[in-house]
Every structure is written in C-alpha cells, then in structure tokens.
Structure 1
Amino acid sequence: MISIVVPIRNVEKSLTKCLQSIKGQTYHQLQVILVDIGSIDKSGEICEKFAKNDSRFTVIHIPNSNLSVAKNIGLSHAQGEHICFINAVDWIDSEMLERLITTDKLYNADMVTCRYYEDTISELYLVPGPDETKMVSKNEAIQLCLAQTRTHGFLCNKLFKLDLFNSYPTIRFDEKIGYYEDLLVVIQCFFKSQTIIYSPPPHYHYYLSRHLPISVLQNKAKLTGLTALEQAIDLLVQDPTIDTRILKDYYIRLTLSSLFLLVSLENVTSPLIIELKQNLYRYGLYEHKDKDLRKCHLITRRNVGLGKIYWDMFYKKKLAE
C-alpha cells in the first residue's frame, strides 16, 4: 500500500482536480491522508466529500499551522509500505504511482524519483533529466533535485519507503522551519538511502503559477529557509563525494533576495539586516557553482546598494528564464 499525504489550506479552486487525479490512479492500494490546515474556504467540504465517497480517503482537520506540522501529522498516520507527498495545487498522471511502485520493486529502492512537468496557463514545460531508468548516487540525485530554480516542490515527484522516515535515525519535518522544509527532508532521505532510482517518464504536474513566490516582506518565516539550508549543507559535507555548491548558491541567493527587499523598507542598522550581511561571509566566494551569483555576492559584500543594482538589472532576469 502507498500512503499519500496532501497538506491543504484554502485551495478550493485546484483541490478537486488534484484529488480526482489521486482517486483515478491505476494503482488502487492507497491510503490518502488529507490534512486540512484551518481552511476558511470550501477546501474542507471538498475533502469530506471525497472521504465520504471513497474509503481510501481520510480527512484530518487541524488549526491553522504550517506545512511541516501537516506533513508530520500525515507521516504519523501513514500505514503503507511506501509514502509520497502531493501538493494540493498540483495533479498527477493516472499511472504515476503504478509506474513508480513497479520501478521500486524491480530495484528494491529506498527512493524512486521521476521527471515532472512545470505547468503554466500557456505552456507545459518538461524538466530535463536523464533519458533512461538508472540507479543514481547521492550526489547525482541531489544535483538533479536542485537543478531547477523555478520549482521548489522537492518532495512531490518522489516515492519513498516509509521505513526511510521511521527507522533510526528517524526523519521528520522541522516544525520551526516554514520554507525549504521539504528540501531539508529530501536531503536527509538522500543521505540515508542506500538505493536511489531515477525514472525518466514524467508523471507529476507542478502548477508553477499556483506556487507563487512569497516575498520576505509578506512572510518573514521564509527566512527560516536559511536554517534549513545550513542544516542540509552541514549534513552533506560529511561525505566528500557530494558537491554542496548548488545548496550554497541557494543559501546566498535567499540571503541576497531577502537583504535587498529589506534594505529598501527598514533601517539599515536593524538586527535582521545586520544578520543577513553577516550571512554573506558564511561561505566563500569560490564555493559557488553559479558564476553570476558569485559576482553579485562579491559586489554586495563591498556595497549593498551596488549589489542591489546588479541584482535588479542583471541577475533577476536570469532567475526568470
């Protein structure tokens, strides 16, 4: 059986399509755990309707909280041999779980990851990757996971053995982290896995426009992502074969974007801005994989104002490509 965890909060417009895509899977041995995080729209009603009509669906309503809490609750209720996580604004092809579980059994894998689509209103973009099913090293898996800067759904295109989370040392979402919490968990799973399989057929539809970027000014909890990235890097440096430069790029990119947003509205001597400036010295300039980011990092160390000009005029365009 596969346990599926779907965290849900005020997503009534996309939720039915997501849950229908789960209900219509060609693999039927499912436990679908819907965790409704204090929704005030009709999301809770939609969940109850699915649970009433299909005994595989269970709804858990919790007070308003974060995604880490919701995913941990899902993990605590999971009863399958395998588990996956699906974003409530996305959807999956009907054969996704059957294909992944078949591949898992063939290789006796701890994790199976597939390619995915980035969906927008006007296009369907297939994320690049290897063209054949193969076993990948921890380092290869991490580089594939981090290669796409537009997509932050690090959990969603993967099937895990539940024992990967429950065996010692157990893996759970840090409930104090509200950004990149899924990336930290995926890194922990990669690091703990003995066998990781990459399967090229795409099955997951990541609806890009519904995953709107959260600005630091809208939600300073985004800054907890820096803690998640620090912990992931600290874990991976234990294995010298793993290249951590992309993770360090993520860390500096988040630091820079946060710093540039805050300096325009807050006193430049505020403790948060001072802390972000100090973060620019956590990793060396030559620990970057992205040379353009390295240049922006260097300029900002010398002068925040000039760094912001370079970021706005040149680097932001690169991120949008």
Structure 2
Amino acid sequence: MSVRPKVSIIVPIYNVERYLVRCMESLLNQTLHEIEIIMVDDGSPDKCPALCDQYAAIDSRIKVIHKQNEGLGYARNTGLTMATGEYVAYIDSDDFIETNMFERLYASAIQNNCQVVFCGFNVYDNPKQNIIRSIQETPETRIFPTKTECEAFLMGMLSSYNKTRITNYEMSVWHAIYKLDIIREHRIEFCSERIVMSEDILYNIDFLSYTDRMAIIPDQLYNYCINPNSLSNQYRKDRFEKAKLLFTEIINHLSARDINFPLDTISNILALNVRFCMSSCAKSLTAVRDKEEAIKLFSVISHDPMIKQYIYPNIKRYPVRYKLLFSLLKLQAYKPLLFLLRKY
C-alpha cells in the first residue's frame, strides 16, 4: 500500500527549456521526501516535453501530463486532477525554491493545524541571477486562528493603509501550500489568465473563504525570477480592460462568499494593476511614435468611469509613488507621467 504524499507540487511548463533544470533540481533535492511532482507540459514547443519524460524515468515521485496549450491557469487545474497529497503547491517552472521549503511549510501546517501556510520569498533578476529584493511577509510566524482573521489576511492581499505598500501581502499562490481536501470539497479552480489577469488572487479569495486557520512563516523560501519573456512582463493592449475585469471579478467573488469589504480600500488592487499596465506600456517604448500611443492609452485611462469612481477619490490614501502617478493622470499631465513611469 502506497503512502500518501505530504505535498503535491504542480509545475506548469511552457517554453522554459532554459530554466526547467534549475527548477526541477530544487524540487528533487527537497528535504521533505514524501512529495509528488506533477509536471504539466502545456503543449510546450521546445524540448520541455522530452525533459519531462526524462525526469519521470529517473524518479518515481514524478508524474507527467502532456496536454494541448491552454495557459497557466488551466494547466494548474489539470495537475490538480492527479494530485493525491495532503497539501498542494504551485511552482512556476522558471523559478526555483530553497531545498527546505516544503519541510518548513508542511511542519508549520501540521504543528499549527493550518489549512494554508505562506512563506516569504526572494525576487531575482533572472538573466544575472542576482537578488533584487527579499520579502519577509512577517518578522515571525503568525497564526490566523479564526475565519474572521483569515478574511482580514485576504483583505491585506487587496489593500493596505501602509504608507509604503499598496497591499500588505503578496497575492501569488506560489509561496504557499493549500489543503487538498478543501480544494476538492469546494471544487476550487483557477480561471484562465487569458481572460482575467492575476488569476491567483481570485483563487486565494475562493480558498480563503473556506479557511478558518492559516499561518505565515518568515522564512524566504521561494525564489521568484523575473523573466522578461513571460506574458506577465510584456505590454499587451488589452491589459487595461483586463485590469478592470479583474476588479469586477474580485468584487463578485467577495460578494458571492459573503465577505465584507470596503470598496475604497480594495480599490488599491485596481490601482496596482492599472499602474502596472501604464508602466509596462511606458517601458516597452522603442520608437518616437510609441510615445503617442502611450499618451493615447493614458488619456483613455484618465477618462475611464471606473478610474474616476474608485481611484481618484482615494489618491490621498496611496503610497507616495502611487499618489504622484495618479495625481499626474488625473491632471492629464501625460508627458511627466510617461517620464516617471519609464524611471520606475
């Protein structure tokens, strides 16, 4: 009779041949041995499919799924169908983790009887492999022992009254482990990032709405690598519309789960994504005519009803950088705004 894995690690894979070995070595060398690794080849056009099969041949803990390309969210959902562990983790294949990540997260989950545990992380400049910054979500292990406190943590993913941060906590799923039984019982899934940007926050809303005990540990165990070729770091013309759609979906998900939320504070998440939209546009400029396109985009954003309703009335509450950027947007000072966005 086989022993149930303590953690199922789902790894969506698409066009990451350059980084896959680094990622997989960090998983195979985990100090927690009772794991399963589910490699989901999402129709990758490079050598990744063959690499997946090679890894499965050398370690019985590895499962491989080859599927038609549908994107990150649906690849994770496919991996979930094969997961058998007590907890589930989602690792991006162009990142890597510390060798004791799952030992630390699982130990905290068991010791504190938690349904989800988050950790800190490092941000790497992928080409140079230097740490740009380290994020410690909490200075010491913090337990959220009630449903009300778990919902308060969720609100911290969406907003902050902190003068230096637009949100209190990182919303990504990759620095946590989640109880599989809750996922199964409530049929929690990812939406497609091709429809809604930042699908991780919607997943966390759904999961945390059924959570009544969770923890954060201070250890910086996940290494997030900035990949300039990833879709999340490229400018796309539909990003502003997706930012608005995401904000609407956040409101819908919170309302459907009877979670109380003040609209003025969760407008922070709209501000975060709109700033990123404008920044990615500004930094993608390669020709003089692109400046005109950027200014057209800024004009559209500045006159949008959702921006007028949720962003402008809350400018004074934002951190200094956001306050300056959105004040310029409100004043329609597009050229100074473009200059600042290219610097930040």
User: Which TM-score band (shorter chain)?
Assistant: 0.7 to 0.9
Supply the distance in 1 between the matched residues of 2:37 and 2:244 (Cα, whole angstroms). 31
Letter in 1 for 2:191: D
Change in Cα spacing, 1:315 to 1:222, as seen in structure 2 (3 Å) is: closer
2:156 is the alignment partner of 1:143: yes
User: Which of residues 243, 246, 268 in structure 2 aligns to 1:228?
Assistant: 246
2:339 is the alignment partner of 1:313: yes
Aligned-residue sequence identity (percent) comes to 23
Partner of 2:138: 130
Change in Cα spacing, 1:265 to 1:88, as seen in structure 2 (3 Å) is: same
Structure 1 residues 91-122: Cα deviation after superposition (integer angstroms, max 9, x where no partner):
11111111111100011111100011112226
Change in Cα spacing, 1:105 to 1:216, as seen in structure 2 (3 Å) is: same
Unaligned runs of 5+ residues in structure 2 are 160-164, 285-289
Superposed, which structure 2 residues align to 1:22-37 within 5 Å? 22-37=27-42
Supply the distance in 1 between the matched residues of 2:248 and 2:70 (Cα, whole angstroms). 23
Asked if 2 retains the 8 angstrom alpha-carbon contact of 1:118 and 1:208, the reply is: yes
Partner of 1:75: 80
Supply the distance in 2 between the matched residues of 1:40 and 1:209 (Cα, whole angstroms). 18
> How many matched pairs?
309
Partner of 2:162: none
CA shift, 1:235, in A, is 3.9
CA shift, 1:157, in A, is 0.7
Matched residue of 2:143: which SS? Answer: strand
Change in Cα spacing, 1:222 to 1:28, as seen in structure 2 (3 Å) is: farther
CA shift, 1:190, in A, is 2.9
Partner of 2:204: 186
Using the size of structure 1 for normalisation, the TM-score is 0.82
Change in Cα spacing, 1:77 to 1:221, as seen in structure 2 (3 Å) is: farther
Letter in 2 for 1:293: Y
Pick which of 86-95 and 118-127 moved more: 118-127
Unaligned runs of 5+ residues in structure 1 are none
Letter in 2 for 1:250: L
Partner of 2:325: 296
Pick which of 225-234 and 90-99 moved more: 225-234
Pick which of 47-56 and 235-244 moved more: 235-244
Change in Cα spacing, 1:105 to 1:222, as seen in structure 2 (3 Å) is: farther
Structure 1 residues 166-190: Cα deviation after superposition (integer angstroms, max 9, x where no partner):
223x321113535211222123323
Change in Cα spacing, 1:267 to 1:241, as seen in structure 2 (3 Å) is: closer
Matched residue of 2:15: which SS? Answer: coil
Supply the distance in 1 between the matched residues of 2:69 and 2:205 (Cα, whole angstroms). 27
User: Which of residues 191, 200, 203 in structure 2 aligns to 1:174?
Assistant: 191
Supply the distance in 2 between the matched residues of 1:153 and 1:139 (Cα, whole angstroms). 13
